[in-house]
Chains A and B, each alone.
Chain A
């Protein structure tokens, strides 16, 4: 994503560039993927924009209504609430998930024989389907008989308390996905040559903290920025965990934007308005991830 693979030198080699080929072969090779790409990615993206100016139902029947949907969107309190909840979720999730991933990775790379089993344990949740994850946590965090409340002596109703529901959803998300971040960080940390640390030790850089600040942190930064961007794009689209853990409750306090789009489209049959919501989110995702990429690139090149 951040690293667009460089065009390799091979591209410029005269023999390959000059060799004869038949267009038929090229078409047969690239057409299947291109058709799928056009039909199921490009076309729907264009349709989102077109539909957002209609009052379509979920079958796509409807007529042009101009910017009425957008006008309504601006005044729709639940849309703004859902947007704020999404942003709140991103705040709770993206940076903590990255930090936890990095800390765990730093701990793991110090391990010897235990590294592989520990890595496996931390990565295991990531390979579970989301609905399995949510069912496990609904049970573990159950107010009355959940093992968590028993062990900690709390009586909180995590997914039903307006103050705790979203943090709980974010926590479950971190539990589920941090293995992915750990994996990337471990790979990044392993690629730092050991000599750097030895040289630093000779120079009298005392202790782990300084080594972290002057060696690990800058060298692992490309991975950090990759992890941040990947997460931001993913977490804007939060739906599954919220739908399955709180269903937007309590009192709509965790309803998120994709969920609101789903409700408008499939429960209230407002296809046109739902795509207006999609469009707004699409623009936000695009702008924020481009901004983030620029920002992180800048910081990443000291």
Chain B
């Protein structure tokens, strides 16, 4: 009998909970209008992001934004499409510029007309022209020309973190406290060798390589672009420079791994942890790890002085891989966003853009020019050490659904470029297979 009562109780409980939960989701309370936002921002990014949204919620009472975080890359964009199909989308979401082509083709993105942007006080002329140009080119090739499929929030790029103590020991620290003698690929490699010889660093430079095609891609694409290479033009994948410039880029990376200067097989968290524990002189990583080192320094976990520099010029120019976070509206297939809610979302986006200096605390370069060129950024440490250079030399991902976050080119990198680093494929083999896979994807 005891169990019977238990079961009855359990049944009622479950029914009540299910009912409550489903009501809670649908019933609009009388307070502010709710805006739901999905993002893929965690770690240091997540902290700043939450800070902006909390500030938005406390600065005014008409709107309230609730955000939820999904893992960056595959789960995020897979779930966005699921949500679009199921009609369960958020009102607004973060979205990579590099994923726009794939997103437009999948029908996941609701375009913004320039008229809508002007009305919201966010004319395209207020944004980093490099990003605007790319965004319009993508629309031209895959969507509605002159519309954009997201409002740019930032540029994020790869930078070089350095340990001043180790560099000083190796004689590579200039009088101004920045690395010296690392321009040009021969010098850079020599510098890494010097660090390995003259310090107790476990690796001269760490970067994430294991199970992380993204970072390998960023390094390879940077070295490829610095020689003037391009992978797509006019919405078409062009691979004729891959066997030449691409081979040089990969060979450079393989030289570093075979000499033990950088790890061939290292997990992302391990790379960060190793740099933080003072066992690597350089770390190649995105600017989004800036808050990690800033915080570690602030709470005394860092036993050395650090700095952050734009990635050096190793070949003909200083082009460096970059991408851009945008704010986009999902194209819900069951219920279109209402005019009113659209305006609410634009109010939110406007607010976020104007408070992008908080976002810059995550190491990012704001896309909104009034903030990028404003006083807050000029005095922000360590951002001001790399922002001016990095802002000039960004090389965005090729305009094609093949390239970009969560897109098939990452598989090709993981399938063929990573194995070259670990010695499982020769550089020639790796490049020709890499090219073949891109070819079949791009056709």
Residue ranges of A at the interface with B (Cβ–Cβ < 8 Å): 57-59, 142-145, 157, 159-162, 246-247, 249-252, 266-267, 269
Contact = CB atoms under 8 A, between A and B. Distances in A.
B211 A249 contact: yes
Contact of B414 (A144, A145, A251, A269): A251
B34 to A, nearest CB: 26
A180 to B, nearest CB: 26
A145 B202 CA distance: 13
Contacts of B389: none
22 contacts: A59-B333, A143-B210, A144-B263, A144-B267, A144-B270, A145-B270, A157-B422, A160-B211, A160-B265, A160-B418, A161-B424, A162-B424, A250-B414, A250-B415, A250-B418, A250-B419, A251-B414, A251-B415, A251-B419, A252-B411, A266-B82, A269-B106
A267 B78 contact: yes
B266 interface: yes
Contact of B211 (A59, A159, A267, A269): A159
Given A247-B74, A266-B82, 4 more contacts: A143-B265, A143-B267, A266-B78, A267-B74
Interface residues of B, number: 22
Given A142-B270, A249-B414, A252-B411, A266 B81 contact: yes
Contact of B265 (A145, A157, A246, A252): A157
A122 B114 CA distance: 63
Contacts of B85: 57-59
A102 to B, nearest CB: 35
Contacts of A157: 210, 265, 422
Which of B211, B266, B415, B418 has the most A CB atoms < 10 Å from its CB? Answer: B211
B162 interface: no
Contacts of B424: 161-162
B403 interface: no
Contacts of B418: 160, 250
Interface string B94-118: 0000000000001000000000000
Contacts of A59: 85, 333
A145 B266 CA distance: 10
Interface string B205-240: 000001100000000000000000000000000000
Main secondary structure of the interface of B (DSSP, over half): helix
Contacts of A249: 211, 414-415
B416 interface: yes
Contacts of B263: 144
Interface in B414-428: 414-416, 418-419, 422, 424
B281 to A, nearest CB: 17
Contacts of B422: 157, 160
Nearest to B211: A160
Given A58-B85, A266-B81, A144 B266 contact: yes
A70 B418 CA distance: 34
A244 to B, nearest CB: 11
Interface string B128-169: 000000000000000000000000000000000000000000
A198 to B, nearest CB: 42
Nearest to B416: A251
Nearest to B74: A267
A144 B85 CA distance: 42
A157 B106 CA distance: 36
B430 to A, nearest CB: 10
Nearest to A156: B265
Contacts of A267: 74, 78
Which of B74, B267, B270 has the most A CB atoms < 10 Å from its CB? Answer: B267
Contacts of B267: 142-144
A162 B414 CA distance: 12
A250 B422 CA distance: 12
A162 B418 CA distance: 12
Interface in B266-293: 266-267, 270
A-B complex: 4 closest residue pairs judged by Cβ atoms = A251-B415, A157-B265, A59-B85, A160-B210
B266 A143 contact: yes
B64 to A, nearest CB: 31
B210 A252 contact: no
Which of A58, A143, A247 has the most B CB atoms < 10 Å from its CB? Answer: A143
A222 B78 CA distance: 44
Contacts of B414: 249-251
Which of A59, A157, A160 has the most B CB atoms < 10 Å from its CB? Answer: A160
Contacts of A58: 81-82, 85
